[in-house]
Amino acid sequence: MNATRTAPGPDPAPAGPTRTDRLLAALGGLVSAYVALAVADLASFWVRPEAGPVVAVGGTVVDRTPAALKEWAIRAFGENDKTVLQLGILLLLALLALGIGLLALRHRALGAAAVGAFGLLGAVAAVTRPDSASVLDAVPSLVGGAVGALLLYVLTGRLLTPRPGTARADRRGFLIVAATTGLAATGAAAIGRAVGSPVQENATASREALRLPRPTSAAPAVPAGAQLDVPGISPFVTPNRDFYRVDTALVVPRIDADRWRLRIHGSGVREERTVTLRELLARPTVERDITLACVSNEVGGPYVGNARWLGVRLADLLREAGVRPPSEGGPADQLVARSVDGMTIGTPVEAVMDGRDALLAFGMNGEPLPFAHGFPVRMVVPGLYGYVSACKWIASIELTTFDAYDAYWVPRGWAAQAPVKTQSRIDTPRPFARPAAGTVMVAGVAWAQHRGIRRVQVRIDDGPWHDARLAAEDSADTWRQWVHPWAATPGRHTLTVRATDGTGATQPEERTGTMPDGAQGWYSVDVTVEGP
């Protein structure tokens, strides 16, 4: 028989979670995920910063992103692309965490298990990264996942247990646990960051202790006339802090120079060799000004810089190891450099050994390489885009063939071989500038590394080409400044620039995209000259 309710009043047995409970449950998911990430972050400081879950998952995403999407990301976000990626991952995790919190309210154990599963996912990503040092890399994600799972289990427990003496969920208990664990995790992570990673301390110390040798072959002094006195032009030497940075590393590798080794091996190597930094520093050193450019640089783009590099000749080391270029009958036509973070960069052996200043560099503008630019040692080869020559954080060099091996970017749609294309850029006036009528200095840089710049021309609207005044040439491997004093008349004008390289070839007018082997075409800026 059904009990008939006769007395009016509050329902003594709540039918299920209220809206507030569900809100709190979702919050519980968020707090658990946050604490899990903070704990994993802290743990990664002891294991290896690269082994943190966001970095590991992010790296996996980077490696699997279709090239076109990556190109778009670089265009849309520039050098902030990595930050945007990590924020995206965190946002996605936050949404999932809200859902998992709600799930836990129905199936407490399942919700906790879901948090643990994300920990497992991070762990798998960490140990399968190309730079993964050991299974220890799984630890940060596993510890974070376990702590997060436990916390969600406890938090949901509060919501499912009536507060003593009442029929309502223990919201107070929930909030106390959520707030204390959230605060504790924030504090611990902050202290961890302030103290710094113990595994990175040696790297910083080793860089500070490094004394660069005097160059055996010093770079000729930069000619006085190489730097034009025009406000707004790119300085001839790009300061390290302004030098563009392009790489796939979500955490900049910090290598202890005392433990660094370079292994040289492969086809045509008489005897496999491993060299230390000390051994490199003891060799004859070469200092050269070389302009580095990225294949992802659009016409007029910023991914180019000029620095004074100090290093040793790579060709000499290779010869000592028995390597001969293809033109001398050597079996290997491709040199594959591998970095500590698993990047692979394929360079023609012929280019490295044809007499140009292909360097294993350890100095940049008078200081040891900054960590972001490859400390302790990177490659620099004049005339080739960075992705086919300039391996940072280099760990090994393998002699092989282009037929036998595709380096990182090749299966992603980029050319296996990519000499730098001639480009010229107007630095000033800026696009959409509003200069006053009168003489306006139109100026910028042009580059065609290893061929040199012979001529730069400027055109106003559809008028004739004017030869710009070229700054003194430092070397064929560096960019060259130019300036054209323009008698600017009021109104809208389009300024166009084109350069001719040392072989006499002039930049073609038609623009192409960066893929597969670098952008080309003339660069223009539109300006409006103000009347008097």
Ligand X SMILES: Nc1nc2c(c(=O)[nH]1)N[C@H]1C(S)=C(S)[C@@H](COP(=O)(O)O)O[C@H]1N2
* Residues of this chain that bind ligand X (CB under 6 A): 243-248, 292, 294, 339, 341, 343, 373, 386-387, 390-393
Residue 294 binding Mo ion, by CB under 5 A: yes
Q: Is 66 exposed, middle or buried (0-12, 13-18, 19+ CB in 10 A)?
A: exposed
- 207's contact among Mo ion, ligand X, none, with CB below 5 to 8 A by partner kind, is none
Gap between the Cα atoms of 264 and 315, Å rounded:
12
CB nearest Mo ion: which residue?
Answer: 294
CB of 18 to ligand X, least distance (A): 52
- 365's contact among Mo ion, ligand X, none, with CB below 5 to 8 A by partner kind, is none
Chain residues 215-254 in contact with Mo ion, contact rule CB under 5 A: 246
CB of 393 to ligand X, least distance (A): 5
CB of 456 to Mo ion, least distance (A): 24
CB 156 within 8 A of CB 28: yes
The whole-angstrom distance between residue 341's C-alpha and the CA centroid of its chain comes to 11
Q: What is the dihedral of CA 153, 155, 161, 162, to 10 degrees?
A: -170
Whether the upstream peptide bond of residue 14 has omega within 30° of 0, thus cis, is no
CB of 19 to Mo ion, least distance (A): 52
CB of 60 to ligand X, least distance (A): 15
Chain residues 345-404 in contact with Mo ion, contact rule CB under 5 A: 386-387
Distance linking the first and last C-alpha atoms of the chain: 99
Q: b vs e for 265-294, b when ≥16 Cβ sit within 10 Å of the residue's Cβ?
A: ebbbbeeebebebeebbebebbbbbbbbbb
The count of chain residues that interact with Mo ion, using the rule CB under 5 A, is: 4
CB of 212 to ligand X, least distance (A): 17
CB of 79 to Mo ion, least distance (A): 12
- The residue (of 255 and 294) whose beta carbon lies closer to Mo ion is 294
> 202 Cβ partners below 8 Å, 6+ apart?
256, 258, 259
- The residue (of 22 and 245) whose beta carbon lies closer to ligand X is 245
- The residue (of 169 and 360) whose beta carbon lies closer to ligand X is 360
- The residue (of 300 and 386) whose beta carbon lies closer to Mo ion is 386
CB of 415 to ligand X, least distance (A): 13
Taking alpha carbons only, the member of 93, 179, 103 closest to residue 141 is 93
Quickly count helices (H) and strands (E) in the chain: 11, 18
Taking alpha carbons only, the member of 497, 531, 19, 17 closest to residue 233 is 497
CB 479 within 8 A of CB 379: no
- 244's contact among ligand X, Mo ion, none, with CB below 5 to 8 A by partner kind, is ligand X
Taken in order 319, 313, 274, 49, the sign of the CA dihedral is negative
Sheet holding 438-447, edge to edge: 423-428, 438-447, 480-488, 469-470
- The residue (of 21 and 247) whose beta carbon lies closer to Mo ion is 247
- The residue (of 393 and 447) whose beta carbon lies closer to ligand X is 393
- The residue (of 341 and 477) whose beta carbon lies closer to ligand X is 341
Gap between the Cα atoms of 214 and 211, Å rounded:
9
CB of 70 to ligand X, least distance (A): 11
CB nearest ligand X: which residue?
Answer: 386
CB 127 within 8 A of CB 119: no
Whether the upstream peptide bond of residue 376 has omega within 30° of 0, thus cis, is yes
- 118's contact among Mo ion, ligand X, none, with CB below 5 to 8 A by partner kind, is none
- 247's contact among ligand X, Mo ion, none, with CB below 5 to 8 A by partner kind, is ligand X
- 341's contact among Mo ion, ligand X, none, with CB below 5 to 8 A by partner kind, is ligand X
- The residue (of 147 and 294) whose beta carbon lies closer to Mo ion is 294
Can you give the length of the chain in residues?
A: 532
CB of 403 to ligand X, least distance (A): 23
Taking alpha carbons only, the member of 243, 359, 252, 345 closest to residue 304 is 243
- 245's contact among Mo ion, ligand X, none, with CB below 5 to 8 A by partner kind, is ligand X
- The residue (of 73 and 443) whose beta carbon lies closer to Mo ion is 73
Residue 314 binding Mo ion, by CB under 5 A: no
CB of 372 to Mo ion, least distance (A): 14
Taking alpha carbons only, the member of 341, 376, 14 closest to residue 166 is 14
Gap between the Cα atoms of 348 and 401, Å rounded:
9
Residue 74 has which token pair? 């670089």
- The residue (of 238 and 428) whose beta carbon lies closer to Mo ion is 238
Residue 408 binding Mo ion, by CB under 5 A: no
Q: What is the largest CA-CA distance in the chain?
A: 105
- 292's contact among ligand X, Mo ion, none, with CB below 5 to 8 A by partner kind, is ligand X
- The residue (of 49 and 386) whose beta carbon lies closer to Mo ion is 386
- The residue (of 393 and 522) whose beta carbon lies closer to ligand X is 393
CB of 394 to ligand X, least distance (A): 7
- 391's contact among ligand X, Mo ion, none, with CB below 5 to 8 A by partner kind, is ligand X
Gap between the Cα atoms of 332 and 389, Å rounded:
16
Binding residues (CB under 5 A) for Mo ion: these are 246, 294, 386-387
